[in-house]
Structure 1
Amino acid sequence: MSLPSDRDAVVVGYRPLVVVMLSPLAFALVFASWTIFAVLGVELREMLGLDELDFALLLSTPMVTGALAALPMAALARRHGGRRVMIACLLLICPFLWAVAHSSDYVHFLLSGAGLGLGAGSLAAGLVYVGELCPRRHAGLALGLYGAGMMGAGLSYLLLPLISQAYGWRSAPMLYLLPVLAVAALLWLFADDPEPPAVSSESDDDGMAARPGWLAPLQHWRPWRLAVVYSFFYGAFVALTLWLPAYLGAQYGLGLRDAALLALPFPLAVGLGQVAGGAWGDVRDFRALRWWVTAFVLVCLFLLCYPPFTMQIEGVERVLTLRYAAPLWGFLALLVAMGLVMGLGQGSLMRMIHRDHGSQLALVGGLALTLGGLFGALLPVMFALGNLWVGIRTAGFMFLYASLVVCMLVMVWDHASGAGRLRP
């Protein structure tokens, strides 16, 4: 595999630094806007009289539209420049933030959430933008710093409960309007779009013959293999970020502010893991590490699956009663450890995508975000149905556990077929 030599050159000037700083900030603001419904869930459910399934659909709506928008926006970024598409997507979500603050019925909230999901175009465009500008030897670190924008969910956890208590929940969505407009303006003033890369008519990075049409490589398994694994970590993170405040409030009897603050370490851990994973990917190949990462997350999910239970054992002289309930500190410690490793996996996998599919980063990266968004949109609904059908709040972790088992089977098949092995 060979990439253009100018990708290895050190880019001088302040504009690449502006991109490295502003792109994660735009990423963070998009994620923060997605978590509005999650943090303000108590107020919305009381005002609208929503049951668990209705609320789950409200959480899923931004992810559905975001997943559908990711690949087309990545294509537009590849053709017209990531900066322009990022600015357009940031401006596009502004009227929907205003609409959330002024909506009064469930349908209006669903439509507003669908509009906020279009901000995922900024995520896909930013991925293409950073991938094109960063030097190849530091691509993992740059992409990891960009992915650390997922910590924007923590911004909502920290600020929205305070704003809601002080000024009412309708003021909370308006809080993001000025920062979104400011970042869009800074991108317009201080960032540039690089020259579009030359497209080879002979072959792509994977050695496959070029085919007419940008989506033609999706006929092969190679663009899918990393995107499928990445989609689990990305989708699980987004869904858990949206679900955690309500879960902590119901499971441990916490108020809105306490539940949001206790959920804060999870997105922070994932963001830090992204940076570490990207930097790791610059110096070592992730193909061996991914087995340890997925195995660790699988163990964490297995432990998180256990609901509180009571077990009676008939002893020799008396009946022994055993009670188990995960303490809050134990749950949070396990969650943070899992989040850190999940972030490590996301950062390293994105570095692999950049290395193996450099000229097709828009396609494969957009595919990963699309699959992850669709998987993440499915999870809140499955969490709600698990509560209704199984009657156990930890059913969501059970579904994640089963999904990761399927993901690992895909990895095993990929490795056995030879596609996942290192090429000479």
Structure 2
Amino acid sequence: MSMEPRPSEIRALQLSVDSTESDEERYASLLIVLPLALAGFIIAAACWTLFAVVGVTLRSNFQLSELQFGLLLAMPMAVSALLAVPAGLCASMWGARKVMLCCLAGLAFSMALVFFADSFGGYILAAGGLGLAGGFYSAGLQFVAIHCRPQRLGLVLGVFGAGITGAGFNYYLVPLLQQAYSWQGVPLAYVIVLLLILALFLMLTEPDDQTAFLVSNAGAWRKCCAPGVWPLCGYFSVIAGSFFALALWLPDYLSARSGLPVSLGAHQALWFILPGALAQIAGGALADRLGSSRVVIWALLLALAALFVLSYPPMTLSIEGVGRFYHLEILLPRVWEGGVMIMLGVALGAAIGALQRMIILESRDATAVMAGFLLLGAFAVAFVLPIVFAAINAWLNVRSAVFMLLFVMLVACTLLFARHTRRRERRELFF
């Protein structure tokens, strides 16, 4: 007697096959989605530091005060921090692709404002519009996450996060464009690139699947409010915020330490920024293979070793001998100091990549929202730390005391993270 399958079983099997084919198509599209998202984030990150280079010309043209110049520099990052969480919520409700397209269009419009502005108020408005880069990051993290398998999540997020290198490219590209044309040629070139990426997004990516977002958005806030997520967000804020704060502070430190112009100090600081940004890829890939917790702890220990070495200022020891004094000068050679800086950047970048993977896995249904909170926390720490750095230098008159402060902060972060990991392992073991 033959047993024919029931119609309900046939429909279930067909749905399963269709779902498998849909997943395969979605994962295959990662080869297109990831390069586009990376290119978009590189140019978006470059918007954060545009006025750090172009603003020098504007400062002399408009006779800006210190407060006005500082406000011009801070506006893109401040608005990015404010827009990160709302952009994540919009990406969860309406789709990450739509939010990314809106952010790219807004960035292009803001760059056009930079080109046509003729007053300080106009430049402030344009600088605020460049804060849409934060919204692009929040939506972009979800956009690439939904196109990759969990086994490769750390690598994919690390590649996307490496787009922060765009913030350092301005120090090289913008002066070249200024010399070739004028400073007005810089925003015009950015507008062309942004519109090109926007057109590629429209042509090569598929519209968002609304049903997927309606299903996942129901439990988004429950994922965000999970008890183990917020401590991880705090650790990420401290580590990533320390990295961003050092990236902002190192040009002045290196120029004052070596007696170089600030522009050359900025070029030397790229040896910290670029390896650190690229190390996110290695950190995420190692986390996929070895586990996030292990990579984060080893990376933090490497960072602590580098900070310990950098914390010691140049000093001279006087030793009383028989009939004479011996003077022992302790000074880290400049080449060695550069190597330790690279090691510090790589360690922090690897920790950021591994920890980012850990957080997104904990809140996979609320990726864009969590990305917004991560960016908000990191920028808050990066905003506070330079002020603290300046206060420490004014109080102690020892420039390397900044590294001492970061050493203490990361020691506390490492111990708390290790305790959090141990408690989590015990909880999983017994339950």
Question: TM-score of the superposition, structure 2-length normalised?
Answer: 0.82
Name the amino acid aligned to 1:423.
E
Question: In the alignment, what sits opposite 1:305?
Answer: 311
Gaps of 5+ in 2: 1-15
Structure 1 vs Structure 2 CA RMSD: 3.3
Gaps of 5+ in 1: 205-209
3-state DSSP of counterpart to 1:320? strand
Question: In the alignment, what sits opposite 1:207?
Answer: none
Question: In the alignment, what sits opposite 1:423?
Answer: 428
> 1:74 offset after TM fit, Å?
1.0
Question: In the alignment, what sits opposite 2:256?
Answer: 250
Distance in 2, matches of 1:93 and 1:40, equals 17
Distance in 2, matches of 1:56 and 1:406, equals 31
Residues 47, 76 of structure 2: 8 Å contact kept:
no
1:272-283 pair list within 5 angstroms: 272-283=278-289
* CA shift digits 1:120-161 (9 cap, x unpaired): 100010001111111232222221211111121232132123
Question: In the alignment, what sits opposite 2:159?
Answer: 145
Question: In the alignment, what sits opposite 1:122?
Answer: 136
Distance in 1, matches of 2:402 and 2:128, equals 23
Higher relative contact order (CA 8 A, sep 6+): 1
Cα 1:7–1:414, aligned 2, differ >3 Å: closer, same or farther?
A: farther
Distance in 2, matches of 1:250 and 1:421, equals 49
State yes or no: 1:20 paired with 2:26: no
Q: Which has the higher helix share?
A: 2
1:224-239 pair list within 5 angstroms: 224-239=230-245
Larger Rg: 2
Distance in 2, matches of 1:395 and 1:338, equals 16
1:140-219 pair list within 5 angstroms: 140-196=154-210, 197=212, 214-215=220-221, 217-219=223-225
Number of residues of Structure 1 aligned to a counterpart in Structure 2:
410
Residues 275, 342 of structure 2: 8 Å contact kept:
yes
1:2-401 pair list within 5 angstroms: 9-11=23-25, 15-39=29-53, 48=63, 58-100=72-114, 111-196=125-210, 197=212, 214-215=220-221, 217-255=223-261, 257-401=263-407
Cα 1:221–1:155, aligned 2, differ >3 Å: closer, same or farther?
A: same
3-state DSSP of counterpart to 1:287? helix
Residues 150, 270 of structure 1: 8 Å contact kept:
no
Distance in 2, matches of 1:173 and 1:382, equals 33
> 1:410 offset after TM fit, Å?
2.9
Distance in 1, matches of 2:315 and 2:119, equals 39
Distance in 1, matches of 2:321 and 2:179, equals 53
Percent identity, aligned pairs only? 34
Residues 283, 349 of structure 2: 8 Å contact kept:
yes
Question: TM-score of the superposition, structure 1-length normalised?
Answer: 0.83
> 1:366 offset after TM fit, Å?
2.4
Residues 20, 130 of structure 1: 8 Å contact kept:
yes
Name the amino acid aligned to 1:156.
N
User: Could you tell which deviates more after superposition, 169-178 or 331-340?
Assistant: 169-178
